[in-house]
């Protein structure tokens, strides 16, 4: 009864360290870990101890006898990662290398103090890594009243098991030495230099908050938007609650075929009754119930072998949704399959080859379908005052093709944005860095006390757990700099920070305020849904205000700890 890793694998490697027989690969120190679409359990070496099940923060691992029908393809997918062997091999006893925790050397200036900006996965994994050390203090600053970044506002609501990683983040936030300063924006409420007066270092884990924009005529017309904005709207992000998403037409066209495109297509075509059991925003659920959609087209500019979506997500999509392939693309898939040697890409192509032909597949089903099409490069969005179609050039021909639609969503990737006071590389949209140490673009001198982790460090690629090793690398370098005396002691005492922040931003929210928001959203869900989210800042602040005021004893204790 070997265990199996399934679709929601976050690749943070927690299972690797928990496994006593090193049967989960690639490990964080193996080549291929950074680009792996998921991790895989070797069915021959697995000893069924279940240690990985408890370690996995997103519930992605189960014994092969307890998989749902939809998860069964993952049995073969896990096994396919390992070479075919004769007979059962004894499990290897070699333990996966646990990355060395940085040892913070004591300094007369007091404990290491780090400000982390942002509260998504990279920020929380960085805090976790720092707090493995006694006495270290981590203050997490977030501009929204709610933490956890894209896990709350970017992961699709039907992927609730992926969102379970927030339980791990909640545990990190309860560790001694951790403080939240939510609803407080670094760059407007506080400056980088002011943070450095209170900390040895500032670590930015602010992600890539913008979208890459498609520069073609007609973008900007009503009826054009980006998939990431729609994901934020679906997830109830307060900045996108009023986004206009018109689902009164028959067809939506999504440009680009990464995992975000798949997420949006899956949600737009899902049964609203199923979504009603998730934490989807109410405004999105109402729009989906009234939707007239019959088809979502996902248009990629390159061929099937270059599909940007990952294999686990394709397996998931085809198990939940009605997916068809454009008629002309079947030949492309077959010819790509003939040339392809990479086993994972071959697996993707085999799934595509088995999809029904869009021209002959039965129509009139109860749910809208998803149509994949390849070799379509967008040329312009058509329409006078509103969108009524999109024109593509077709690869390998002189032809252009118009797909009629009232809603064009571009899904061509995220983009980092400059951070006030730090250098920025406009080409790659990341902060120039060496292993997370921010460096000047000319001369590569380190910028004192400044570090980055996550998408603003390495660009918008990878999965939630990819940020664990990324953040660990930054923290290791930060601690090395502290131990080498390269970080200047803060000007102010530890206790001064709270007063300073509240002076600047009286509506700052702490862990108790977040707990009040969290409890209130869960209660509003009424046991039928994981939570009913607040979609306005005012609603969040009102809920946070119901947090019990700290008792005098707690305030005194907190003061003593500082």
* 214 vs 337 by CB, closer to ligand NAP: 214
Q: Which of 118, 256, 304, 406 binds ligand NAP (CB under 6 A)?
A: 256
Total residues at interface with ligand NAP (CB under 6 A):
25
- Can you list the positions of beta strands (E) in 385-492? 389-394, 400-404, 407-410, 414-415, 433-434, 437-439, 446-452
The rounded distance, in Å, linking the Cα atoms of 140 and 138 is 6
For residue 9, give the DSSP letter. -
CB 116 within 8 A of CB 141: yes
Closest distance of CB 426 from ligand NAP, Å: 17
Q: Please report how many Cα atoms fall inside a 13 Å half-sphere around the Cα of residue 138, on the Cβ side.
A: 29
* 64 vs 263 by CB, closer to ligand NAP: 263
In 3D space, the residue among 393, 464, 412 whose CA is nearest the CA of residue 205 turns out to be: 464
Q: Which of 224, 235, 257, 520 binds ligand NAP (CB under 6 A)?
A: 257
Site for ligand NAP in 413-442 (CB under 6 A): 413-414
* 183 vs 387 by CB, closer to ligand NAP: 387
Compose the 456-495 pattern: x for residues touching ligand NAP by CB under 6 A, - for all others.
Answer: ----xxxx--------------------------------
* 310 vs 477 by CB, closer to ligand NAP: 310
Site for ligand NAP in 491-550 (CB under 6 A): none
Closest distance of CB 200 from ligand NAP, Å: 32
Which residues are registered as beta bridge partners of 2?
none
At a CB cut-off of 8 Å and minimum separation 6, what does 242 contact?
none
Task: Say what the alpha-carbon torsion angle 16, 22, 28, 34 is, to the nearest 10 degrees.
Answer: -90
Closest distance of CB 485 from ligand NAP, Å: 38
Closest distance of CB 408 from ligand NAP, Å: 12
Q: Which of 306, 488, 523, 556 binds ligand NAP (CB under 6 A)?
A: 306
* 63 vs 459 by CB, closer to ligand NAP: 459
| Angle ∠(425,464,239) on CA atoms, nearest 5 | 70
* 198 vs 266 by CB, closer to ligand NAP: 266
Q: Which stretch binds ligand NAP (CB under 6 A): 73-81, 304-312, 337-345, 433-441?
A: 304-312
CB 516 within 8 A of CB 187: no
Q: Does 218 bind ligand NAP (CB under 6 A)?
A: no
CB 532 within 8 A of CB 236: no
Write out the H or E segment, with its range, that includes residue 263: helix 259-269
* 380 vs 504 by CB, closer to ligand NAP: 380
In a 3-state reduction of DSSP, which class is residue 13? coil
Distances (CA, A) of 368 to 249, 267, 293, 294, 323: 12, 11, 6, 4, 9
Site for ligand NAP in 365-424 (CB under 6 A): 378, 411-414
- Can you list the positions of beta strands (E) in 247-287? 251-255
In 3D space, the residue among 156, 381, 216, 411 whose CA is nearest the CA of residue 299 turns out to be: 411
Q: Does 308 bind ligand NAP (CB under 6 A)?
A: yes
Site for ligand NAP in 331-360 (CB under 6 A): none
Residues in contact with ligand NAP by the rule CB under 6 A: 214, 255-261, 263, 300-302, 306, 308, 310, 313, 378, 411-414, 460-463
């Amino acid at each position: 009864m070997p265990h199996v890793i399934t679709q929601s694998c976050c690749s943070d490697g927690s299972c690797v360290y928990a496994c006593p027989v090193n049967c989960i690969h690639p490990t964080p120190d193996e080549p291929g870990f950074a680009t792996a679409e998921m991790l895989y359990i070797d069915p021959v070496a697995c000893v069924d101890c279940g240690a990985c099940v408890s370690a996995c923060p997103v519930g992605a691992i189960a014994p092969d006898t307890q998989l749902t029908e939809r998860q069964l393809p993952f049995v073969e997918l896990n096994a396919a990662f390992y070479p075919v062997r004769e007979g059962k091999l004894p499990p290897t006893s070699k333990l996966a290398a646990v990355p060395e925790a940085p040892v913070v050397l004591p300094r007369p200036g007091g404990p290491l103090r780090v400000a982390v900006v942002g509260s998504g996965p990279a920020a929380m994994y960085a805090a976790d890594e720092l707090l493995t050390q006694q006495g270290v203090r981590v203050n997490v600053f977030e501009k929204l009243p709610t933490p956890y970044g894209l896990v709350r506002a970017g992961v699709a609501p039907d992927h609730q098991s992926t969102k379970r990683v927030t339980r791990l983040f909640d545990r990190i936030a309860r560790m001694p030495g951790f403080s939240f300063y939510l609803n407080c924006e670094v760059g407007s409420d506080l400056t980088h230099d002011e943070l450095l007066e209170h900390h040895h270092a500032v670590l930015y884990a602010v992600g890539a908050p913008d979208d890459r924009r498609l520069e073609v005529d007609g973008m900007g017309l009503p009826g054009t938007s980006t998939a990431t904005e729609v994901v934020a709207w679906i997830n109830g992000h307060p900045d996108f609650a009023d986004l206009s998403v018109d689902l009164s037409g028959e067809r939506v066209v999504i440009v680009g075929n990464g995992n975000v495109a798949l997420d949006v297509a899956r949600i737009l075509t899902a049964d609203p009754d199923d979504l009603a059991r998730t934490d989807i925003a109410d405004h999105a659920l109402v729009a989906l119930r009234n939707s007239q959609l019959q088809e979502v087209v996902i248009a990629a500019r390159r061929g099937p072998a270059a599909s940007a979506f990952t294999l686990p997500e394709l397996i998931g999509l085809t198990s939940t949704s009605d997916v068809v392939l454009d008629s002309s693309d079947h030949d492309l898939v077959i010819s790509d399959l003939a040339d392809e040697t990479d086993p994972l890409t071959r697996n993707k192509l085999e799934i595509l080859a088995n999809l029904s032909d869009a021209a002959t597949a039965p129509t009139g089903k109860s749910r809208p379908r998803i149509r994949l099409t390849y070799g379509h490069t967008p040329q312009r969005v058509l329409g006078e005052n509103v969108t009524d179609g999109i024109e593509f050039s077709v690869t390998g021909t002189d032809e252009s093709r118009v797909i009629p639609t009232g809603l064009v969503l571009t899904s061509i990737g995220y983009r980092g944005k400059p951070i006030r006071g730090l250098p920025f590389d406009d080409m790659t949209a990341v902060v120039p860095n060496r292993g997370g140490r921010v460096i000047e673009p000319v001369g590569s001198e380190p910028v004192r006390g400044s570090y980055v982790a996550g998408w603003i460090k390495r660009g918008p690629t990878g999965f939630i757990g990819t940020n664990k090793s990324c953040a660990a690398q930054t923290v290791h370098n930060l601690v090395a700099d502290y131990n080498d005396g390269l970080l200047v002691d803060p000007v102010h005492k530890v206790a001064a920070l709270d007063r300073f922040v509240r002076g600047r931003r009286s509506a700052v929210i702490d862990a108790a305020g977040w707990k009040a928001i969290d409890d209130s959203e869960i209660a509003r869900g009424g046991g039928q849904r994981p939570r009913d989210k607040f979609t306005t800042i005012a609603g969040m602040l009102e809920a946070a205000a119901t947090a019990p005021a700290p008792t005098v004893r707690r305030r005194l204790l907190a003061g003593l700890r500082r």
